[in-house]
Amino acid sequence: MKQAFRSRHAFSKTNLVTINKGGRMYDELKCSICGMTGRMYVISEYVTVADKYSDDLVINCLEPMVDNFKGKLIQVTQCQAVGKPFANLLTNTYHLVVTPPKGYCNRSDGVWVQGVGKPVKLLNNEFNFIEIKRRKFNQKTKKS
């Protein structure tokens, strides 16, 4: 069995309640982008997938989408996380989306911003995207 990073796929749970077979509890998951299915036996960053999937899918189906949010501006509406790394994420503060740590990506369920000393993830209900309006400067030429 292969292991896939949960954060590199858009996995969602397909069963209503956790399944218990033979004393092993697991949830069945399916990626809404590549269609990969797998099982998560414990809450972790990995999903166990069947051998029938190609290594390219197992490694990362979201690779082209990794930087879609990088450099965008967000405004914190509420940060429910606690701890030193989240101390600068106060309500109504603005932050740029940064490159996530290895094995993670920015996507619609949350984005990574610079916390105190390291990048931290804000969930999608904790921020709003802010449109950056860029001023265009017209250079006027002198008429002779």
pLDDT for 142 equals 57
Comparing 51-60, 119-128, 135-144, which segment has the lowest mean pLDDT?
135-144
- Domains delineated in the chain: 2-63 (no CATH), 66-130 (2.30.30.40)
Element (H, E) at 56: helix 55-59
Provide, rounded to the nearest whole percent, the portion of the chain with pLDDT above 90.
19
Q: Which of 68, 67, 87 is nearest to 79 (CA)?
A: 87
Per-residue pLDDT at 45 exceeds 80: no
pLDDT, tens digit (0-9, with 9 covering 90-100), for 50-100: 777 766 666 656 655 545 677 788 999 998 888 999 999 999 999 998 888
- Rounded-to-integer distance, Cα 111 and Cα 66, Å: 10
Structure letter (DSSP) for residue 136: P
Whole-model pTM: value is 0.52
